[in-house]
Amino acid sequence: MSGWDWEYTPDRAQVTDGLPEHIVAAAERTAEDLKGLAEVGVDITDIGHGPDHGGPGGVRRIDLPTGGWVLVLPLPRLGLIEITRIVPPVEHL
């Protein structure tokens, strides 16, 4: 499938409010990486840490290289990756 994209849900202001820009940039790079993987056919619904049942689908927690993590919801039918929350490292809380 081609034509993948990503967005913030509910919106950028709510998800990134008060976070350092380098943490936000790391989350956006992660979303871009997921988008690239999806566009070449990788099943991104099984990347990162998912629901307790351990299978694909649902909201995924992906560790950021800056520390902290990002929660994303891959929606293959829509070709969309939603960033729902960014959790910074503890020193930025």
Whose tokens are 């709510």? That residue is 14
pTM of the model: 0.91
- Average pLDDT (3-17) is 97
- How many residues appear in the chain? 93
For the chain, the structural domain boundaries read: 5-77
- Report in angstroms the alpha-carbon separations of 18 from 14, 24, 28, 55, 56: 9, 10, 16, 33, 31
List, for residues 26-74, the tens digit of each pLDDT value: 999 999 999 999 999 999 999 999 887 767 889 999 999 999 999 999 9
